[in-house]
Amino acid sequence: MGAAIARLFAHEGARAVLGDVLEDEGRAVAAEISAKGGDAAFVRLDVTSESDWARAVALAVERFGGLHVLVNNAGVSAASRVEDTTPAEWDRVMDVNAKGVFLGTRAAIPAMRSAGGGSIVNISSQLGLVGTDITSPQYSASKGAVRLLTKVTALQYAKEGIRANSVHPGPIVTPMTEKRRADRATSELMRSRIPMGRFGEADEVAYGVLYLASDEASFVTGSELVIDGGWTAQ
C-alpha cells in the first residue's frame, strides 16, 4: 500500500522519501519512480526508532528543501484471542502500529512548522473504528490509538497550519492480507462482511491519501476517511 501511495504521489509531482525496513523492496520502488522521471529517495526506516525518524526527516529537508507531507503507513498484523495473546505479541504490534505513528508525527512537526505547515495522513483501519472477532486485540487497539492520536495532533497544531487525518481501509489486496486471502474459508468470511463483496485495491486507498495530503483538503483536519467497501456502514 505504501508503494502504491508513493507511486501516485510521484505521478502527481511530489518529491518523495520512502522509508522501510525492507531495504531491497524500498530501493526498488524508489528506483522505479526515478526511472519514470520522478524524484524519490529511499532511507532505511524502522518506525520504532527515534534516530531512524530523525534521519528520514533530515533527508527530506536536505534533499528537497522541506517536509510538507507525512504518510504514516507502516503496520503489522496479528490474529489471536485476548487470552492467547502474549505481552510480547501485544508490544510488537503496538510498537509498530501506534508508537511508530507517534514517533513519526513527533519528528515531522518541527520540519513542517519550518515549512509553514503540512499534512499528516495516518493509515489506521476499519478495525480502528469497530471491533471484530477475527483479528487480534492488539491490532484493533493499535489502530484505535492511531485514530485518536490523529485527532489530538489535529487540534494541537491546527493554528500552525499542520493538518492531521486518518484513513481507515477495509481488507486490501496487499502482502499483509495474502495469508488470509489464500485460506478459502477465511477469505469467504471476510468478503461476506464487505457489502461490496470484494477486497479493496491499494490504489483505491492511495487516492484517498492523495486527497488528504493535497491543498484540496485544506479545510479537513481531525477527520477519518473510511475506504472499506461498506464494512463499517453495517
The rounded distance, in Å, linking the Cα atoms of 125 and 110 is 27
Q: Of 139, 157, 207, 211, which residue is the catalytic one?
A: 139
The rounded distance, in Å, linking the Cα atoms of 145 and 139 is 10
The rounded distance, in Å, linking the Cα atoms of 40 and 3 is 12
Q: Is 157 a catalytic residue?
A: no
Say how many C-beta atoms besides its own lie within 10 A of residue 20's C-beta.
Answer: 21
The rounded distance, in Å, linking the Cα atoms of 76 and 226 is 19
The rounded distance, in Å, linking the Cα atoms of 71 and 59 is 15
The rounded distance, in Å, linking the Cα atoms of 212 and 217 is 5
The residues annotated as belonging to the active site are 139
